[in-house]
Amino acid sequence: MKYPKILTIQDISCVGQCSLTVALPILSACGIETCILPSAVLSTHTAGFTGFTVRDLTPDMPGIKAHWMKEGILFDAIYTGYLGSTEQIGYVAEFFRDTAAPGCRKIVDPAMADNGSLYPAFDMEYVEAMKGLCGKADFLVPNITEACFLTGVEYRTEYDRAYIDRLLAGLTGLGCKNVILTGVSYAPGKTGVVVFENGCYAYYEHEKLPNSCHGTGDIYASAFVGALVRGKTAFDAARIAADYTVACIRFTGTLENHWYGAAFEPVLPELIQALN
């Protein structure tokens, strides 16, 4: 098996099971050399904690890239998650251009919104910048809210296949041919993932659990990227990531007072088994 090298660019919350503290162990468990570029360091994530500290690492990005270029360091895949500003989006585009090995797969999780609203740190200027980055990607991994902001389609909680097709058309219109659209529910008690690859639609449906956890989008995207880079088809990678995320949510529901994230670590053996 080839030993691929991936770069993931997103923030790191020291406590909270999201972003890099999710991506690094999941990608490593997938058997991939995982290099990181933290966009910011937070003492905890921002959902439910108060008084957290934040250090913006935007000024460090150009120097890191210059050093890597001097050392001839290139990556077989680049995967982006939460980015803190439009300036960071611009720098990430430069990493796409300058640190990608031949055949590098670029995966963008436009982590900026959920449940019909943008995260508090973002505005429409950020959305416009994210559209440009999405156009440079090989795969997009948005949820429905993010897809709506990226396409200008109104957000709905009830919809049909025609609505999803509008979202897919708008997303691929940004320039990326392949979309993994998460949280697509056509029936009560069920949800799933749409895999739209080079114009072909496929849907993987799975159980919708009553409990939800912070950081499951990061878990899903990381598992998808890990499976994809390991050589799985986009549909199989989407299926593996969905099953793993559901298993993480289910396990977390058995714990007391684990409100700040999903307990993904005890379930990693299931992901490894699915990959092998």
- Rounded Cα distance between 81 and 197, Å, is 21
Q: Over its length of 276 residues, how does the chain's per-residue pLDDT go in tens digits?
A: 689 999 999 999 999 999 999 999 999 999 999 999 999 999 999 888 889 899 999 999 999 999 999 999 999 999 999 998 999 999 999 999 999 999 999 999 999 999 999 998 899 999 999 999 999 999 999 999 999 999 999 999 999 999 999 999 999 999 999 999 999 999 998 999 999 999 999 999 998 988 888 889 999 999 999 999 999 999 999 999 999 999 999 999 999 989 999 999 999 999 999 999
Cβ-contact 107, 76 below 8 angstroms: no
d(C-alpha 166, C-alpha 21), whole Å: 34
Model-level pTM? 0.96
With beta carbons less than 8 A apart as the criterion, state whether 97 and 69 touch: no
Of 145, 130, 46, nearest to 88 (Cα)? 130
- CATH number of residue 54's parent domain: 3.40.1190.20
What pLDDT does 63 receive? 98
pLDDT on residue 213: 85
Residue 157: give the domain boundaries: 5-275
Q: Give the model's pLDDT for residue 212.
A: 82
Counted domains in the chain: 1
Q: Can you give the length of the chain in residues?
A: 276
- Using left for φ > 0, alpha for ψ between -120 and 50, and beta otherwise, residue 165 falls in alpha
